[in-house]
Amino acid sequence: MKTLKCPLCGNELTSIFRMTKTGSLKNKYGCLICGWETFELRKNENLAWKDAKEFISKFPPIMRSHQGDNLKLDFEDDVLTLIGKDTSRGKLYLQNCDGDVEIATPEDVEQWPWELEQKGGSNDI
């Protein structure tokens, strides 16, 4: 199963187990730092993971991109690595393979990390 990261803080989501009154173990996903978690307790991790994935997919792309992710701008051939972001101002700080830093906005992005089909990407949803 791939890793899901919190759209708010970038922390890796944790599988949370809860014991119901009848003694069965149920599952949901959440962020231990932000405190948000998926609402419904599911009978297995896979279903809970799907809930979290759907929740995250509703966030704007800049929220779903995290440090270390690769993305491609529409005016550059190279794939750039995200080294930082300012979500309130809509700015992405990127670095190319030569170490040059570039500042872009979400409108400049042609392919987001999950659109690049990279294997094992942190945001491959």
Report the interface residues with Zn ion, using CB under 5 A: 6, 8-9, 11, 31, 33-34
Q: Choose between 6 and 109: whose C-beta lies nearer to Zn ion.
A: 6
CB of 97 to Zn ion, least distance (A): 30
CB of 23 to Zn ion, least distance (A): 30
Q: Choose between 86 and 100: whose C-beta lies nearer to Zn ion.
A: 86
> What gap in Å lies between CA 61 and CA 98, rounded to an integer?
25
CB of 96 to Zn ion, least distance (A): 29
Q: Choose between 34 and 47: whose C-beta lies nearer to Zn ion.
A: 34
The upper half-sphere exposure of residue 113, i.e. CA atoms within 13 Å in the direction of its Cβ, equals 25
Torsion of CA 74, 77, 79, 80, to 10 degrees: -70
Q: Is the dihedral of CA 11, 98, 103, 56 positive or negative?
A: negative
